[in-house]
Amino acid sequence: MTVEVVKTPKHDIRFDLPLYTVAEAARALDVPPTTLSTWAFGYVRKPTERREHRGEPVVTAFPGPQGPRIPFVGLAEGMVLAAFRQSGVSLQRVRPALSVLASDIGIEHALASKRLYTDGAELLFDHAAQLAGDEGDAVRELVVIRSGQRVFSAIIEAYLRRIDYSSDGYARLIRLPAYERAEVVADPDRAFGQPIFARGGARVSDVLDRFWSGDDIQTLSEEFGIPKPEIEDVLRAASRRAA
């Protein structure tokens, strides 16, 4: 059966505008920059006297030597891959399944679509039945049977619940996973998609800059309208990355 691929909306900031550098997107998703770079631009590895290994890009990115290269839709795609990574399944083992999944869902940027959340587990499970060895085992690790239905594992489902979708079926807001208590979101319609506090709307970078410049947490909480525990959580996350 041939699946007609539904095209994405034109002139949409989520798809058309690079908003994040690789480092910024990696921080937002709480993954190493080198990992996100391989997702966005692929890789070629040739171990000594062994066959070359090539991985194609799986995250949307724009060409260019520097500056922002990842659009919001790429951040949403990276969120799904971060979920797979957090579940302990190597992306290299499930890469073949991703292309099949995108084809079966039948839309561009399938990883950033609501259909991944609603239909993806079923499609992956069916695909795993056709695979042997490590690839099949890896795909099956992403899916569980619950109340007779095939659904994503708890870790992946928790990540996917952090994504809100627009009426067109594509991601429109992401609650970023790097924080335990603070609700930090990426919304392309606010602050050009840069991470902001859901409560108060302040950019995370602005609050951090003010803290590093000498303002105390109480002052920042009062001025930006952000609860102190959320500011403390963001500071812990920033300190962990810098370590």
18 and 79 in a single domain? The answer is yes
144 and 95 in a single domain? The answer is yes
Q: What is the spatial distance between Cα 15 and Cα 184, in angstroms, rounded to a whole number?
A: 21
pLDDT digits (tens, 9 = 90+) for 224-235: 999 999 999 999
95 and 21 in a single domain? The answer is yes
125 and 38 in a single domain? The answer is yes
Sheet holding 163-165, edge to edge: 163-165, 171-175, 184-186, 196-197
91 and 164 in a single domain? The answer is yes
149 and 202 in a single domain? The answer is no
Instruction: Answer whether 186's CB lies under 8 Å from 192's CB.
Output: no
30 and 96 in a single domain? The answer is yes
Q: Which of 138, 170, 202 is the endpoint of a domain? A: 170
Q: Which of 144, 170, 196 is the endpoint of a domain? A: 170
Q: Which of 151, 170, 189 is the endpoint of a domain? A: 170
Which residues neighbour 27 within 8 Å (Cβ) at sequence distance 6 or greater? 178, 241
Q: What is the spatial distance between Cα 114 and Cα 171, in angstroms, rounded to a whole number?
A: 7
77 and 192 in a single domain? The answer is no
Give CA separation, 236 vs 86, 203, 219, in Å. 20, 16, 18
- Counting residues of the chain whose pLDDT is more than 70, the rounded percentage is 91
99 and 116 in a single domain? The answer is yes
Tell me which of 70 and 63 has the higher pLDDT.
Answer: 70
The domain in which residue 184 lies consists of: 178-243
pLDDT digits (tens, 9 = 90+) for 79-133: 999 999 999 888 887 887 787 788 888 888 999 999 999 998 888 888 877 766 7
- Counting residues of the chain whose pLDDT is more than 90, the rounded percentage is 61
pLDDT of residue 56: 86
**What is the pTM for the complete model shown?**
0.88
Of 218, 194, 193, 189, give the one whose Cα is nearest residue 206: 194
Of 142, 145, 147, give the one whose Cα is nearest residue 127: 142
154 and 205 in a single domain? The answer is no
Helices (H) and strands (E) in the chain, counts: 11, 8
Residue 2 has pLDDT above 60, yes or no: no
Q: What is the spatial distance between Cα 129 and Cα 126, in angstroms, rounded to a whole number?
A: 5
pLDDT of residue 21: 96
Q: How many Å is the maximal CA-CA distance in the chain?
A: 62
Backbone phi and psi for residue 3, each to the nearest 5 degrees, phi listed first: -100, 125
Give start and end residues of each alpha helix (H) in 48-107: 72-86, 91-105
Which residues neighbour 63 within 8 Å (Cβ) at sequence distance 6 or greater? 69
Instruction: Answer whether 146's CB lies under 8 Å from 202's CB.
Output: no
Q: What is the spatial distance between Cα 168 and Cα 61, in angstroms, rounded to a whole number?
A: 21
221 and 150 in a single domain? The answer is no
Number of separate domains in the chain? 2
Tell me which of 155 and 65 has the higher pLDDT.
Answer: 155
Report the CATH number that the domain containing residue 223 is assigned in CATH: 1.10.10
pLDDT of residue 1: 37
144 and 203 in a single domain? The answer is no
